[in-house]
Amino acid sequence: MDSRAATANRGRTRPMSRVAQGRLRFERVGAATVLRQAYAESPLRLLTPRNHGEGAWVYTGTLGGGLVDGDRVRLRISVGAGARAFVSTQGATRVYRSPRGCESETAAEIADGAALILAPDPTSCYAGSRYQQRTEVDLAEGGSVALWDVLSAGRVILGVGIGWMEDEFRALGIPFDERVARTEEACAALADRLGRFEALATLLLAGPLFAALREELRSRLEDRPVRARSRLLESASALAADVLVVRLAAASVEELVCALRERLAAVPALLGDDPWARRA
């Protein structure tokens, strides 16, 4: 290859890598839930620890501890009738320098009588990163879901990282589409808007198994006044009689994650074991 061709090739942007596929399928067998299928392509990893309850747990991760330039992952989750599933991450989702960008997509289908708790650790975009995330949930009548998204905003205040997060929820004809965009233009004004808050989260609860928890949270937030200089702010919005969205902002990521786990204190009883006990 001559020098001119070598120079031209160096200037080209390499194509995005193929999408790494992952699949999880949970089924109810007797009194317990079993993981019928667990498939992952690099760089996606799946950890399936045992527990003492009736639910099945899966923790996702990536080779190298984060997403690097060009990584694209897609996880499909199926929770069969009557099954109980808990899906989280091995640690924070770290997105490293990525001029071409990184992408992550999660799609879940939850059958009648089933329950999914989708509770990933916070997302952190490092300097020079570009990240797009999408979460889609299709909930059947009689199914239940509790999911949260946590965004570490402290790094955005420093002006590093560009991200896009989108959540789509479909249940009994009720649409919910929430998007959080972090662009270079938005980062410039974000510090003034967030002030002392370094972490943002959205918590969604739907279905009959979370009815008591939704009512408790709604009553608590309706009666709680906003205190000056509070380190945690919360608001709740009912999309329907059986769907509640709670939005939170906290002064630190640790405080926000602790608050979310406290709000979901009923989860260990639903699963028959505590998925957060070893990570306290």
| Any domain includes 10 | no
The token duo for 27 is: 């089924």
Residue 166 neighbours by CB distance under 10 Å: 16
Residues of the chain with pLDDT under 70: 1-16, 153-195, 278-280
Return the residue matching tokens 């079993």.
34
Distance CA 186, CA 194 (A): 12
Q: DSSP letter at 86?
A: E
Please tell me the predicted confidence (pLDDT) of residue 136: 87
The token duo for 258 is: 């602790």
Distance CA 134, CA 263 (A): 24
Number of structural domains the chain divides into: 1
| Any domain includes 60 | no
Torsion of CA 175, 180, 181, 182, to 10 degrees: -170
Please tell me the predicted confidence (pLDDT) of residue 157: 40
CA dihedral over 95, 175, 266, 262, signed as positive or negative: positive
Please tell me the predicted confidence (pLDDT) of residue 155: 45
| Any domain includes 146 | yes
**The pTM is what?**
0.83
* Cβ pair 204, 147 in contact under 8 A: yes
| Any domain includes 37 | no
Which residues form the domain of 148?
A: 88-279
Please tell me the predicted confidence (pLDDT) of residue 201: 87
Q: Which of 176, 87, 180 is nearest to 125 (CA)?
A: 180
Please tell me the predicted confidence (pLDDT) of residue 20: 94
Please tell me the predicted confidence (pLDDT) of residue 99: 85
| Any domain includes 264 | yes
Q: In whole angstroms, how far apart are CA 261 and each of 71, 76, 113, 222, 258?
A: 30, 24, 23, 20, 5
| Any domain includes 12 | no
The token duo for 62 is: 């990536």
Q: DSSP letter at 208?
A: G
| Any domain includes 35 | no
Please tell me the predicted confidence (pLDDT) of residue 156: 45
The token duo for 229 is: 């200089």
Which amino acid would we find at residue 85? Answer: A
Q: Which of 118, 68, 60, 116 is nearest to 92 (CA)?
A: 60
Which residues in 7-129 belong to E strands, given as ranges?
20-29, 32-40, 44-47, 56-62, 72-79, 84-89, 93-95, 102-110, 115-118, 123-125
Kind plus residue range of the DSSP H or E element containing 253: helix 253-263
Distance CA 280, CA 277 (A): 6
Hey, is 252 helix, strand or coil? Answer: coil
Please tell me the predicted confidence (pLDDT) of residue 195: 67
| Any domain includes 244 | yes
Please tell me the predicted confidence (pLDDT) of residue 9: 42
The token duo for 97 is: 């320098």
Please tell me the predicted confidence (pLDDT) of residue 71: 92
